């Protein structure tokens, strides 16, 4: 169980997040929606232990996480919105590097059932990262996040750049990932995408929670446009 309790963050005296709280249980997927600047990326960075909150805390199974401790890295697989790969390395070298960092066996990187093969990375393994498209780089980032099979997968606008075929394959993989008792925190500006995939929805507006509940309770597009606009408008 992942718990986020009253997390707040300020940057240059401007509030980015204000008392945001939620829980994410085994097998659940929480979609985080909101306009640019609503605090989505900041929230995922804090949960991933990349940024510290100014106030509040993150707990896993009732125990608070502390930045700099190894446990968080094992628990979370994080795909940030911006690609941050080493451009001089090939795809194969990049994945092998992270295998070594994670202490994983070197064998099996491109086995038929592996995540890199599912994402088509075996076909571009010799290409340097600098020569990859944004969508290809995103596939590499997703594969890195999934290499050591984390309990919690954090995806920040991670699927929008993917080609349709790879996206469908990944969505099937993520459905199986959830069925094994893992959890996903998934941010996107595509609200229809979140409602279609996630079991729960969290809407941020100016850093505050505008909606938090089951996806089935979220107002659908076309059903109540006024209510939907009120939730999503900055």
Strands 63-64 and 152-156: unpaired
Q: What is the pTM of this model?
A: 0.90
In the three-class reduction of DSSP (H, G, I as helix; E, B as strand; rest coil), residue 120 is classed as coil
Task: List pLDDT tens digits, range 8-25.
Answer: 999 999 999 999 999 999
DSSP class of residue 32 equals E
DSSP class of residue 128 equals B
The residues facing 11 across adjacent strands are 14
Phi/psi at 184 (5° precision): -130, 135
CA angle 220, 226, 229 (to 5 degrees): 75
Question: Alpha carbon 202 to chain centroid distance?
Answer: 14
Specify the higher pLDDT residue, 165 or 67.
165
Residues of the chain with pLDDT > 90: what percent? 71
Task: Give the burial class of 171: count Cβ atoms within 10 A of its Cβ; 0-12 exposed, 13-18 middle, 19 or more buried.
Answer: middle
The pLDDT of residue 224? 47
């Amino acid at each position: 169980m992942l718990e986020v309790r009253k997390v707040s963050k300020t940057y240059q005296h401007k509030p980015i997040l204000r008392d945001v709280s939620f829980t994410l249980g085994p097998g659940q997927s929480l979609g985080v929606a909101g306009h640019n600047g609503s605090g989505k990326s900041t929230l995922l960075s804090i949960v991933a232990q990349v940024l510290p909150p100014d106030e509040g805390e993150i707990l896993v199974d009732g125990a608070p996480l502390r930045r700099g401790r190894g446990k968080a890295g094992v628990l979370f697989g994080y795909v940030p919105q911006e690609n941050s790969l080493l451009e001089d390395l090939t795809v194969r070298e990049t994945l092998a590097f992270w295998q070594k960092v994670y202490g994983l066996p070197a064998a099996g990187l491109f086995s038929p059932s592996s995540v890199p093969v599912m994402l088509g990375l075996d076909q571009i393994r010799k290409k340097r990262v600098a020569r990859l498209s944004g969508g290809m780089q995103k596939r590499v980032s997703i594969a890195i996040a999934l290499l050591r099979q984390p309990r919690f997968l954090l995806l920040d606008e991670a699927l929008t750049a993917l080609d349709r075929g790879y996206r469908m394959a990944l969505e099937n993989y993520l459905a199986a990932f959830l069925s094994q008792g893992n959890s996903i925190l998934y941010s996107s500006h595509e609200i229809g995408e979140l409602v279609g995939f996630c079991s729960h929805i969290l809407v941020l507006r100016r850093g505050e929670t505008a909606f938090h509940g089951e996806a089935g309770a979220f107002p659908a597009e076309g059903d109540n446009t006024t209510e939907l606009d009120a939730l999503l408008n900055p």
